[in-house]
Amino acid sequence: MMPVVVFAGKSDSGKTTLLEKLIAEIKNRCYRVGVIKHTAHGFDMDQPGKDSWRHQKAGADTVLLAAPDNLAIIKKQRSTSLDDLLAYFEGMDLVLVEGFKLAEKPKIEILRAASNAVPFCRGDRNLIALVTDTDTDLGVPRFDMDDISRLADFIEEKFLQK
């Protein structure tokens, strides 16, 4: 079973910035990393007028764009569970998830004083660490916002060491 770590936190807490740095650090350690970004808002990644956009607008339920080094799937469906989405990540060593804060998966909360100094995951049995610029103690390992190397060490030791 491939390891999954959820990063939870209020909007503007720095989740995306933290994950950008963490992905680069873990990739530098030669692991294959997948990322799921959960959004409560819709999105449109296709460009009006392009063939794939035209296929989708014509009614296709799934459109797959294939290029020599990339592929993208646009699939019409109702929101699905995190576990269902993991089927798209075969071959990854680790999947990092931004959002899905209620998922029953190992969770790291990002807590910044500037966005919200009240922890969301207090009492969550899935909480494994806290990344914060506050003095909050939730009884789990705590990392500073810029201590990416130590956070990567923690994730590597906990989930990637065989």
CATH numbers and ranges of domains, the chain: 4-43+78-160 (3.40.50.300)
The token pair at 102 is 């209620």
How far apart CA 120 and CA 122 sit, in angstroms, is: 6
pLDDT-derived band of residue 71, with 50, 70 and 90 as boundaries? confident
Question: Is a pLDDT exceeding 80 seen at residue 82?
Answer: yes
- Predicted pLDDT at 116: 79
Q: CB within 8 A of 114, min separation 6: which ones?
A: 12, 133
Q: Count CB atoms within 10 A of the CB of residue 161.
A: 6
Q: Which pTM value belongs to this model?
A: 0.87
- The average pLDDT across 136-144 equals 96
How far apart CA 162 and CA 103 sit, in angstroms, is: 25
- The average pLDDT across 88-117 equals 92
- The average pLDDT across 88-95 equals 94
Question: Is a pLDDT exceeding 60 seen at residue 81?
Answer: yes
Dihedral, 119, 121, 127, 130 alpha carbons, nearest 10: -20
How far apart CA 159 and CA 27 sit, in angstroms, is: 15
Least confident of 13-17, 27-31, 148-152: 13-17
